[in-house]
Structure 1
Amino acid sequence: MRLSAPVYHLKRKARLLSRQQNIPLHAALDRVAAREGFQGWSLLAAKTQAAVPADDLFSLLSPGDLVLVGARPGQGKTLMSLKLAVGAMKAGNRSAFFTLEDTEKVVLDRFRIIGVDQAEFRELFELDSSDAISADYITRKLASVPRGTLAVVDYLQILDQKREKPELMTQVRALKAFARDKGVIVVFISQIDRSYDPALKPLPDLDDVRLPNPLDLALFDKLFFLHAGKVQYKAAS
């Protein structure tokens, strides 16, 4: 589908609409996407970004990696994480998606958005939306999975939202140790701070990761940052 203007112009329209009508930016993005014939901004972004085969994305990862996928709302970070999961499953590995944010229906609908029939991987994919999700919960659930399994955690900043759960740093360190020991790949979806300004740099980076609670970002082995249909990949030095 041909857009009426480049994506960055459409985003500018959405920011203006957000200010004029005093509505959240994500709602303004969805309205602009609807005018372009899409059901939401995530779908527009998924259809207009350069196609990156899921197999190619997954090939950048290794068993034991701790991965961060960061972007502002509506930029496709959840879709990117699902592409990594699909790449793992195409390679014959298992995948798990632990979400504290979305419903099962929302997650499964996103397979359609990335052009994948989730039924093809029914035996390899597990979706968990329990309110009890934490590092301990995840490691218990994955205790017997084979090496090469990929687990997505949706999302980093709310893992310790409940007071009874350990601090974020403690949980991420525990998952890193578990990933290394079991050869599991753990992918964290991450928010980017609202102060990030694409006019200053085209893609966010580690400095822009939203951290309401302390966390050593050097714990992550691989990083993906997304904005306006572009993807930047970095490996820890």
Structure 2
Amino acid sequence: MKTTQPIYHLKRKAKALSRAEDIPLHQALDRIAKDEGYGRWSLLAAKASETTPAGELFAHLQPGDLLLLGARPGHGKTLMGLQLAVEAMKTGHPGIFFSLEYTRENVEDRFRAIGIDCTQFNHLFEFDGSDAISADYMTEKLASTRRGTLVVIDYLQLLDQKRENPELSAQVRTLKAFARQRGLMMVFIAQIDRSFERTEKSLPDITDIRLPNPLDLKLFDKTCFLNNGKMAFAAAL
């Protein structure tokens, strides 16, 4: 059964319903799912996952890769990051989500939104929402992490906010060297500049990344951009 709208639109409707009626997000998601002909959201999400591009994208990642994942707000970049973590965990490898923006509860809500019971991955999934997140912090936390782990960093530009941290380019170089040495896959969620919305492009590209301070984007091995349910993947800049 095909949904009447793309799944990311249905998620937006559920969020609006949750706010408007002051009900938990999972209840709003279930109501939207019933309108689409599914008994609950997890069933709708499971059906949608059969055609999700996350599995295809994950298949392109190799240990040591740095992936730049960019989209405007509300176009699924965080969900894609979590879906990539799920793909890694399905293969028995850990998925670690570092966030300077989300809380653990936010992440659990997002897992429910994609039909995933995060308790099934309790032994593999780790969330870290420390205010101290930086390249040095993450390399210390990941010191004993095994090869094949997928690390999501939410998000790139926030690493650049604290003056006491090294400049962004230095942090990315540190993480790149660490990922190569330890065989980790690192996904950097990135903001897209607002100016993209004034263009006629259907998808953002590397020139649309918002960079308050200089960063050599050639440090990233692969890129993925999302917009309105579309995805563009590229290997090597």
What is the match of residue 21 of structure 1? Answer: none
Q: Aligned pair 1:152/2:178, yes or no?
A: no
The offset of 1:100, in angstroms, is 0.1
> Aligned with 2:189: secondary structure?
strand
> Aligned with 2:200: secondary structure?
coil
Shift in CA distance, 202/128, structure 1 to aligned 2, threshold 3 Å: same
Aligned 8 A contact 1:57 1:83 in 2: no
Which runs of 5 or more structure 2 residues have no equivalent in the other structure? 34-43
What is the match of residue 18 of structure 1? Answer: none
Aligned 8 A contact 1:159 1:168 in 2: yes
What is the match of residue 4 of structure 2? Answer: 2
- More moved, 99-108 vs 52-61: 52-61
What is the match of residue 132 of structure 2? Answer: 132
Shift in CA distance, 31/49, structure 1 to aligned 2, threshold 3 Å: farther
- More moved, 53-62 vs 174-183: 53-62
Aligned 8 A contact 1:50 1:229 in 2: no
Separation of aligned partners in 2, 1:190 and 1:34: 26
Shift in CA distance, 28/72, structure 1 to aligned 2, threshold 3 Å: farther
Separation of aligned partners in 2, 1:53 and 1:195: 26
Aligned 8 A contact 1:96 1:126 in 2: yes
- More moved, 50-59 vs 90-99: 50-59
What is the match of residue 58 of structure 1? Answer: 58
Deviations 1:117-138, CA, capped at 9 Å, x for gaps: 1111100011000000000000
Separation of aligned partners in 1, 2:14 and 2:91: 35
Deviations 1:136-184, CA, capped at 9 Å, x for gaps: 0000011111100011000000102111111100000100000001000
The offset of 1:219, in angstroms, is 0.5
User: What letter corresponds to residue 77 of structure 2 in structure 1?
Assistant: K
The offset of 1:56, in angstroms, is 2.6
What is the match of residue 174 of structure 1? Answer: 174
The offset of 1:111, in angstroms, is 0.7
Deviations 1:10-29, CA, capped at 9 Å, x for gaps: 8xxxxxxxxxxxxxxxx999
What is the match of residue 236 of structure 2? Answer: 236
Shift in CA distance, 216/87, structure 1 to aligned 2, threshold 3 Å: same
Separation of aligned partners in 2, 1:86 and 1:194: 30
Which aligned runs of 4 or more in structure 1 are off by greater than 3 angstroms? 27-35, 46-51
Aligned 8 A contact 2:203 2:227 in 1: yes
What is the match of residue 74 of structure 1? Answer: 74
> Aligned with 1:196: secondary structure?
helix
Separation of aligned partners in 1, 2:13 and 2:119: 33
Shift in CA distance, 213/94, structure 1 to aligned 2, threshold 3 Å: same
What is the match of residue 184 of structure 1? Answer: 184
User: What letter corresponds to residue 140 of structure 2 in structure 1?
Assistant: R
What is the match of residue 87 of structure 1? Answer: 87
Separation of aligned partners in 1, 2:207 and 2:199: 16
What is the match of residue 217 of structure 1? Answer: 217
Separation of aligned partners in 2, 1:75 and 1:183: 29
Separation of aligned partners in 2, 1:145 and 1:49: 28
Aligned 8 A contact 2:57 2:233 in 1: no
Separation of aligned partners in 2, 1:77 and 1:116: 17
Separation of aligned partners in 1, 2:106 and 2:214: 30
What is the match of residue 207 of structure 2? Answer: 207
Q: TM-score, normalised by structure 1?
A: 0.80
Query: RMSD of the TM alignment (CA)?
Result: 3.0
Q: TM-score, normalised by structure 2?
A: 0.80
The offset of 1:109, in angstroms, is 1.0
User: What letter corresponds to residue 93 of structure 1 in structure 2?
Assistant: H
- More moved, 130-139 vs 198-207: 198-207
Deviations 1:94-117, CA, capped at 9 Å, x for gaps: 110000011110011111111111
Which runs of 5 or more structure 1 residues have no equivalent in the other structure? 11-26
What is the match of residue 142 of structure 1? Answer: 142
Separation of aligned partners in 2, 1:156 and 1:106: 18
Deviations 1:81-104, CA, capped at 9 Å, x for gaps: 011100100011111000001111
